[in-house]
Amino acid sequence: MFPFLTPYLPSQLTKYPDFTDWLSDPYRMEGFAEMLAYTLPGDRSSFYQTSSMAKMRRNVFDELEDVTKALGVYPVVS
């Protein structure tokens, strides 16, 4: 997903090739997904123990919403 975002970055951020290269790594999202799986509370596998993809997505997004509410949103502004 991140490689698809790179063309839409604010022009100020495209001046930093190290950042855009980092963002363009096709495995970056997998790393974030692994980090999320490791940091989910309690029994981490319970979020994924359903055959319904929609329910699984809802379980994870509900948890992410709680994280966002607790930590806030960090806007990318240069």
Q: Does position 1 have pLDDT exceeding 70, yes or no?
A: no
Instruction: Say if CB 63 and CB 47 are below 8 A apart.
Output: yes
Q: Is 77 helix (H, G, I), strand (E, B) or coil?
A: coil
Of 32-41, 53-62, 64-73, least confident by mean pLDDT is 32-41
More confident residue, 59 or 77: 59
In the DSSP assignment, the letter for residue 56 is H
Q: How far apart are CA 24 and CA 21, in angstroms?
A: 5
Distance CA 70, CA 65 (A): 9
So what's the pLDDT on residue 64?
81
pTM greater than 0.75 (yes/no): no
Averaged pLDDT of the chain: 78
- What per-residue confidence (pLDDT) applies to 76? 64
